[in-house]
């Protein structure tokens, strides 16, 4: 079942993506709704489109000064191999994102590290502990130019 959304719903979704800490009253005023109408719409959107709310943390301020994108090639693309890799990668806290890819890499990982030594330990761990890894190709992010948590509505 797909949720039908109108221009007001899209505006609410944009507002919540920009700042999910706004009160229902603030959101309603910005969208031209009463607080109760805004609350009803948000609840419907939360049941169909909004997957959750989260805080965006400053990695560098918390000691994670380095970010890498690692392309992973597996020795097999069988369903069992993919499932085993995905289950194992979920248990590595430094892996912030894991994407199954089309193209030359099977997976793309976004990882954070504290320093070059931390990255070396992580790289060795990924190569040794993740099942079916045939190759790793790492790229270090120098600087984040644009980050967008939400969708363009």
**What is the structure's pLDDT at 148?**
80
Place 145 in a pLDDT band, splitting at 50, 70 and 90.
very high
pLDDT at 1 over 70: no
Q: Which residues pair with 111 in a beta bridge?
A: 68, 95
Domain range annotation of the chain: 7-48, 66-141
- Helix ranges restricted to H, the chain: 7-18, 24-31, 35-48, 79-89, 116-129
Tell me the average pLDDT of the chain: 94
Residue range 66-94: mean pLDDT, rounded = 96
Look at domain 7-48 and name its CATH class.
mainly alpha
Place 2 in a pLDDT band, splitting at 50, 70 and 90.
low
CATH code of the region 66-141: 3.30.70.920
């Amino acid at each position: 079942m797909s949720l039908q959304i109108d221009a007001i719903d899209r505006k609410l979704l944009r507002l919540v993506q920009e700042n999910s800490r706004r009160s229902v009253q603030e959101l309603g005023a910005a969208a031209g709704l009463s607080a109760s109408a805004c609350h009803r719409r948000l609840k419907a959107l939360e049941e169909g489109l909004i997957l959750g709310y989260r805080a965006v943390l400053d990695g560098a301020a918390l000691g994670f000064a380095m970010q890498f994108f690692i392309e992973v090639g597996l020795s097999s693309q069988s369903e069992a191999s993919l499932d085993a890799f995905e289950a194992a990668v979920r248990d590595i806290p430094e892996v912030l994102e894991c994407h199954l890819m089309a193209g030359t890499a099977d997976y793309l990982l976004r990882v954070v590290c504290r320093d070059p030594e931390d990255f070396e330990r992580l790289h060795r761990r990924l190569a040794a502990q993740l099942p079916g890894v045939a190759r790793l190709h790492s790229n270090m992010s120098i600087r984040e130019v644009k980050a967008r948590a939400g969708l363009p509505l």
